[in-house]
Structure 1
Amino acid sequence: MSAPETDLPPLFPFAAIAGQPALRQALLLAAVDPRIGGVLVEGPRGTAKSTAARALAELMPAAPFVTLPLGASLEHVAGTLDLQQALAGHAVRFAPGLLARADGGVLYVDEINLLPDALVDVLLDAAASGVNVVERDGISHRHAARFVLVGTMNPEEGALRPQLLDRLGLAVRLANVADLAERQAIVRARLQFEADPAAFRARHAAEQAALAERLGAARARVQAPDALPWSDAVLQAAGALCVQAQVDGLRADLVLLRAARAWAAWQGDAQVTPVHVQAVAELALVHRRKPGVPPPDPVPASPPAADPPHPPRAPGADGAGPPEADWGAMPPEPIGTVRLAVPELLTSSAPATPKKA
């Protein structure tokens, strides 16, 4: 029997999480549109992975938070059919698993890289489709499983196969906080929360409520029909980034477009633009990029002021002018030369070079 809600320990508010902007962005995107396929969080211990996942569920109305234990079986996760009851009562009796319990909430999988591949396949199928299908001895049962999958792993303990990595929607690679002031701010906030959780949560209540309201509005906008259209320029921007990353298949393009639409909904914009694609590109491509391919240079928020353009030079106007396509180039100019005296020691020691006929 589960403990009453009043007996649960207080949660660290999502609004108070500091020092991990990429993690916050990825979790919010997956919550806006769970069809993105979940979030993989890679990083060392103590980088707020589980804290952020639990805090995300609190922003979603009546959202359960379900943790998948490391030793769970396939029946425990997906559910099972009671064939004896089905044969005796001429009805299918389904015993739901963790996927059914996580419907509408967050399914947290710690050390996802240590799970059997077959179990990870079931998780990823349900996370991408929103439906869990259980088939056994010719009997099939389907139920809704719309949840935000958050998987964490420490790369030092092993890696996921590339086929499984590609099926996870977004990825965040965390690092230890090296900035001293930022570390102090994070530790101070944690100590304040542990000293008086109620007072700490009260200080962030307004911001927490604003985040929950904004998340609910963004989720409604994404689910609305014909909402947030994108142009061919958006498709071209997404495709160019995927080609540059040398990804396999087209799943990266689809995830990138869904994430860009979710980011546009979160920003409250009327349509998806290439700017939204660029803002979420690294989250969708960091775990799909071919090894050795460098990430693209970040696009500046505002381009620097450029010098006023020079008028193009007509090709061949002065006999040495560059073609029109290279009008920014300057024509060569003659430069005077000065003959330097060479020390006699050097000239005498060098062998004479015979002249060619």
Structure 2
Amino acid sequence: MGQTYPFSAIVGQAEMKRALILAAIDPRIGGILVFGDRGTGKTTAVRGLAGLLPPMRVASDCRFNCAPGEPAEPCTRCRAEIAVGRLRGKAAPVPVIDLPLGASEDRVAGALDLEKALVSGEKAFEPGLLASAHRGFLYIDEVNLLEDHLVDLLLDVAASGINVVEREGLSIRHPARFVLVGSGNPEEGDLRPQLLDRFGLSVEVASPRDVASRVEVVKRRDAFDRDPKGFAQAWKRHDAAMRRQIGAARQRLGEIRVPDAVLEHAASLCLSLGVDGLRGELTLMRAARAETALAAGTTVTIEAIDAVAVSALRHRLRRDPLDETGSGARIERALGALQAA
């Protein structure tokens, strides 16, 4: 595998980087959708995220990344190990798995291990990408071009956190909880509403608009292409500092208070924008709590809600044919009205 471009070396794109960091602090925020022009660092940022994630504990020799300390939804093997008190754990990197657009359903969900079936006649399960992504990140580039049958599969698994495979004489259930990260170009089509609703935060990225930023992007990319290892080494300290920040924020997350007045502000904002359902308020609360933990705070404030509001709500707004302003501007306008009230 080639050297990954360091996350901390990405120039600008503050909203995208913040959304990814917040999801790393609290995966319950939900998926991250990154839409924007080609060549704006979307894929680079997602792949660089792997270098920021503190290692996690996994059950030894488990093909599904089960957590040894959280046996609520273990796989069949780990359940048996728990029963006899033999489940052991080890440190492992948090997975960031690519789901190619052309992947088959068998490759994504898992299927019969043909090699074992042909060689020994044994019916064995070959885990797919969903198993590899459990407790990590599943990344889909050009997510708006994903085939419908894979979208249906992802929706089922995202709703239940369990992947069920029943085919070719197999009946397998295993945990599959992951942060779904999708990127794409809006000119190439929209996402199905059901899938769009599964993303916690939505980010819009664009090419830098000033000469200095564009020059800096070119210089850093050229330096990376000439000497990937040397460039990564030069930014290693910056990535390590960010990794420590994320780890510390995770530790603080459970202690962060969310006052009723802050929840009332979030609900008022969603009502004023006509947001359907309650996922908007939940995402606002979780993202603001992660933002507060990152800033080493103890209590979520209305300002923290406002800071994440555009990312949490822009993809949840109904389209208004009489309002040509973007969704971000509509949210900013609603925030201004609430502040003036």
Paired residue for 1:264?
292
Q: Distance in 2 between matches of 1:122 and 1:35?
A: 20
Q: Distance in 1 between matches of 2:263 and 2:242?
A: 29
Paired residue for 1:103?
134
Number of matched pairs = 287
The question of whether the paired residues in 2 share the 8 Å contact of 1:105 and 1:147 is answered with: yes
Paired residue for 2:314?
286
Paired residue for 1:187?
218
Paired residue for 2:145?
114
Deviation at 1:128, TM superposition (A): 5.9
Paired residue for 1:296?
332
2:261 partner letter: A
The question of whether the paired residues in 2 share the 8 Å contact of 1:103 and 1:147 is answered with: yes
Q: Distance in 1 between matches of 2:259 and 2:45?
A: 34
Segments of structure 2 that go 5 or more residues without pairing to the other structure are: 56-92, 324-329
2:96 to 65, 74, 90: 65
Residue 264 of structure 2 is aligned to residue 240 of structure 1: no
Deviation at 1:146, TM superposition (A): 3.4
What TM-score do you get using the length of structure 1 for normalisation? 0.73
Deviation at 1:196, TM superposition (A): 2.1
Q: Percent identical across equivalent pairs?
A: 52
Paired residue for 1:48?
41
Residue 194 of structure 2 is aligned to residue 163 of structure 1: yes
| Cα deviation digits, residues 78-133 of structure 1 (max 9, x gap) | 223679x99xx9x9843211011122332110111111234224324544654433
The question of whether the paired residues in 1 share the 8 Å contact of 2:51 and 2:239 is answered with: no
Q: Which is further off, 126-135 or 274-283?
A: 126-135
| Cα deviation digits, residues 159-209 of structure 1 (max 9, x gap) | 112232122111111122221111111111111222222332222222111
Q: Distance in 2 between matches of 1:116 and 1:205?
A: 38
* Secondary structure, counterpart of 1:269 in structure 2: coil
Deviation at 1:154, TM superposition (A): 0.9
Larger Rg: 1
2:184 partner letter: M
The question of whether the paired residues in 2 share the 8 Å contact of 1:35 and 1:130 is answered with: no
The question of whether the paired residues in 2 share the 8 Å contact of 1:29 and 1:259 is answered with: yes
Change (3 A) 1:255 1:191: same
Residue 30 of structure 2 is aligned to residue 37 of structure 1: yes
Deviation at 1:274, TM superposition (A): 1.7
Deviation at 1:237, TM superposition (A): 1.4
Q: Distance in 1 between matches of 2:171 and 2:289?
A: 34
1:75 to 106, 111, 116: 106
Higher relative contact order (CA 8 A, sep 6+): 2
Deviation at 1:139, TM superposition (A): 7.0
Paired residue for 2:63?
none
Paired residue for 2:18?
25
Q: Distance in 2 between matches of 1:244 and 1:260?
A: 19
* Secondary structure, counterpart of 2:239 in structure 1: helix
Segments of structure 1 that go 5 or more residues without pairing to the other structure are: 1-7, 304-357
1:68 partner letter: L
The question of whether the paired residues in 2 share the 8 Å contact of 1:59 and 1:211 is answered with: yes
2:297 partner letter: D
| Cα deviation digits, residues 299-331 of structure 1 (max 9, x gap) | 79xx9xxxxxxxxxxxxxxxxxxxxxxxxxxxx
Change (3 A) 1:146 1:266: farther
Change (3 A) 1:138 1:218: farther
1 or 2, which has the higher helix percentage? 2
Deviation at 1:258, TM superposition (A): 1.4
1 or 2, which has the higher strand percentage? 2
2:174 partner letter: H
